[in-house]
């Protein structure tokens, strides 16, 4: 076998690399610190016909109890440069680090990411966001490795296709984010602090503390009238969701009476019904069972097919 595999860790417990703390073993585990590491890993995996999977901070994935048969490539490309209010960031940089650096330099633009875990590579893949803004709103450009073409490509934001919690990287997993440019603007530091603190406060009242992989399902943005017609809430709330163009899936799960519902080591959080939390010794199969229960109940009550936001690995 290629010498590259000598540089990999073997039989690595993936539960230790995910915020859900769930997942079996990966045969091989390699940390890519720069683009050359990543390109080498993918080239060898292709030559040796070994499946590979790209991992960032592991904050949006559910890894199978059987783990991953192949090579997990964890992206730790950590470059971080600020020039003329443009932040050039390696794909492995934590969102939290970007938020702190913006604050330290009195730069506005990424306050909405306050408290969001994971790396910028994962955030671009899933167009991560909150409070009405997402990755596409702050990116200037993205540089990625196209493993099909064996080429590094830089694309301006306007040439990239993003949608709600999706991107061309999600649609074509052979495109791997290496770095990006984030456009920021000088502003009053006190104003930025107030906004970040406000978001941090709102999040801590809503987001559960137990291990999770964030929102399990995507919010509902189709057939709003039909779904709202079945929801027993005040008209002004309905108007708000219509104006916003989305119904929070947490509300549908809550109204289906599923808050606190437990299967094995997981349960629907009482704090936020779109979070499945690991309450100890959870298995991926517990999560999937609970996911099915939620899907069936919400379909029965609201005639909505829920779509997973969490990414399944190794199934
Ligand atoms: C408590 C909690 C709160 C959260 N709150 C939010 C929130 O408010 N808003 C929100 O949008 N999300 C939220 N999330 C989900 C998660 O933080 C984001 O989706 C985050 O952007 C994922 O980044 P990651 O590096 O952890 O990706 P991972 O979980 O490691 O990977 C996710 C996907 O991205 C792919 N990927 C990772 N890096 C790259 C790369 N360099 N190139 C190509 N593909 C890549 C992986 O292959 C995988 O398919 C939350 C999660 C948790 C646990």
CATH of the domain at 300: 3.90.78.10
Catalytic residues: 165, 215, 309
Instruction: Tell me the three-class secondary structure of 265-304, residue by residue.
Output: CEEECCCCCCCEEECCCCCHHHHHHHHHHHHHHHHHHHCC
Q: Atom 43 (ligand 1): residue with closest C-alpha?
A: 176
pTM: predicted TM-score of the whole model, two decimal places = 0.97
Q: Domain boundary residue among 140, 157, 191?
A: 191
pLDDT at 147 over 90: yes
- For 178, residues 6+ apart whose C-beta sits below 8 A from its C-beta are 35, 38, 77, 90, 91, 143, 144, 145, 152
Kindly give the distance from the C-alpha atom of residue 239 to the centroid of ligand 1, in angstroms, as a whole number.
Answer: 31
Kindly give the distance from the C-alpha atom of residue 230 to the centroid of ligand 1, in angstroms, as a whole number.
Answer: 32
pLDDT at 1 over 90: no
CB atoms within 10 A of CB 279: 15
The answer on 212 and 292 residing in a single domain is yes
Average pLDDT score over the chain: 97
The span from the CA of 83 to the CA of 180, in Å, is 13
pLDDT at 229 over 90: yes
How many residues would you count in the chain?
Answer: 315
CATH of the domain at 27: 3.30.43.10
157 part of a folded domain: yes
Task: Fill in the DSSP letter of residue 49.
Answer: T
203 part of a folded domain: no
Q: 11-65: per-residue pLDDT in tens?
A: 999 999 999 999 999 999 999 999 999 999 999 999 999 999 999 999 999 999 9
The answer on 228 and 146 residing in a single domain is no
Mean pLDDT of 161-180: 96
CB atoms within 10 A of CB 73: 23
Pocket of ligand 1 (CB under 6 A): 19, 54-61, 75, 91, 116-119, 121-123, 125-126, 128-130, 169, 176-177, 207, 212-214, 311
111 part of a folded domain: yes
The answer on 87 and 130 residing in a single domain is yes
The span from the CA of 169 to the CA of 177, in Å, is 8
The answer on 306 and 218 residing in a single domain is yes
- For 123, residues 6+ apart whose C-beta sits below 8 A from its C-beta are 95, 113, 116, 135
The span from the CA of 199 to the CA of 158, in Å, is 28
The answer on 223 and 180 residing in a single domain is no
The alpha carbon dihedral of 86, 88, 91, 96 has a sign of negative
The answer on 102 and 61 residing in a single domain is no
Atom number, ligand 1, closest to the C-alpha of residue 59: 26
The answer on 167 and 110 residing in a single domain is yes
The answer on 71 and 90 residing in a single domain is no
Q: 243-289: per-residue pLDDT in tens?
A: 999 999 999 999 999 999 999 999 999 999 999 999 999 999 999 99
pLDDT at 34: 98
Q: Atom 10 (ligand 1): residue with closest C-alpha?
A: 128
The span from the CA of 42 to the CA of 32, in Å, is 10
294 part of a folded domain: yes
Q: Are 265 and 278 contacting, i.e. CB atoms less than 8 angstroms apart?
A: yes
The answer on 87 and 60 residing in a single domain is no
pLDDT at 206: 96
The answer on 186 and 92 residing in a single domain is yes
Kindly give the distance from the C-alpha atom of residue 213 to the centroid of ligand 1, in angstroms, as a whole number.
Answer: 8
Q: 73-119: per-residue pLDDT in tens?
A: 999 999 999 999 999 999 999 999 999 999 999 999 999 999 999 99
- Termini Cα distance of the chain: 26
Domain that holds residue 242: 208-313
pLDDT at 239: 95
104 part of a folded domain: yes
- How far from the centroid of its chain's Cα atoms is residue 263's Cα? 24
CATH of the domain at 113: 3.30.465.10
Q: Atom 28 (ligand 1): residue with closest C-alpha?
A: 58
Atom number, ligand 1, closest to the C-alpha of residue 95: 21
64 part of a folded domain: yes
pLDDT at 68: 98
Q: Are 287 and 262 contacting, i.e. CB atoms less than 8 angstroms apart?
A: no
pLDDT at 18: 98
Q: Are 236 and 228 contacting, i.e. CB atoms less than 8 angstroms apart?
A: no
Atom number, ligand 1, closest to the C-alpha of residue 211: 53
Kindly give the distance from the C-alpha atom of residue 123 to the centroid of ligand 1, in angstroms, as a whole number.
Answer: 5
Kindly give the distance from the C-alpha atom of residue 215 to the centroid of ligand 1, in angstroms, as a whole number.
Answer: 10
Q: Domain boundary residue among 44, 75, 106?
A: 75
The span from the CA of 10 to the CA of 70, in Å, is 10
65 part of a folded domain: yes
Spell out a b/e string for 3-42, using b for 16 or more CB atoms within 10 Å of the CB, else e: ebbeebeeebebbebbbbbbbbbbbbbbbbeebebbbbbb
The answer on 84 and 68 residing in a single domain is no
Count of domains for the chain: 3
198 part of a folded domain: no
The answer on 93 and 54 residing in a single domain is no
The span from the CA of 136 to the CA of 142, in Å, is 10
């Amino acid at each position: 076998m290629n010498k590259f595999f000598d540089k990999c860790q073997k039989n690595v417990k993936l539960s230790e690399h995910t915020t859900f703390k769930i997942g079996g073993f990966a045969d091989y585990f390699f940390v890519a610190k720069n683009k050359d590491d990543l390109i080498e890993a993918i080239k060898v995996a292709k030559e040796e016909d070994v499946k590979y999977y790209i991992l960032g901070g592991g904050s949006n994935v559910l890894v199978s109890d059987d783990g991953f048969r192949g090579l997990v490539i964890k992206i730790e490309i950590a470059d971080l440069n600020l020039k003329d209010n443009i932040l050039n960031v390696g794909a492995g940089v934590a969102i939290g680090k970007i938020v702190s650096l913006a604050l330290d330099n009195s730069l506005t633009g990424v306050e909405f990411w306050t408290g969001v875990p994971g790396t910028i590579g994962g955030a671009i893949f899933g167009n991560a966001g909150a409070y009405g803004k997402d990755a596409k709103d702050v990116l200037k450009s993205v540089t990625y490795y196209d493993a099909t073409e064996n080429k590094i490509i830089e694309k301006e934001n306007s040439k990239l296709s993003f949608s709600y919690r999706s991107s061309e990287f999600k649609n074509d997993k052979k495109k791997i984010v290496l770095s990006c440019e984030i456009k920021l603007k000088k502003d009053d530091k006190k104003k930025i602090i107030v906004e970040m603190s406000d978001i941090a406060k709102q999040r801590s009242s809503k987001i559960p503390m137990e291990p999770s992989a964030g929102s399990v399902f995507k919010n509902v943005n189709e057939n709003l009238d039909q779904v709202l017609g079945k929801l027993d809430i005040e008209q002004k709330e309905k108007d708000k969701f219509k104006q916003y163009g989305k119904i929070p899936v947490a509300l549908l799960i809550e109204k289906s009476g599923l808050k606190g519902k437990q299967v094995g080591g997981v349960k629907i959080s009482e704090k936020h019904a779109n979070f499945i939390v690991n309450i100890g010794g959870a298995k991926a199969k517990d999560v999937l069972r609970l996911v099915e229960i939620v899907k069936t109940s919400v379909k029965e009550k609201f005639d909505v097919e829920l779509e997973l936001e969490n990414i399944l690995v190794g199934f």
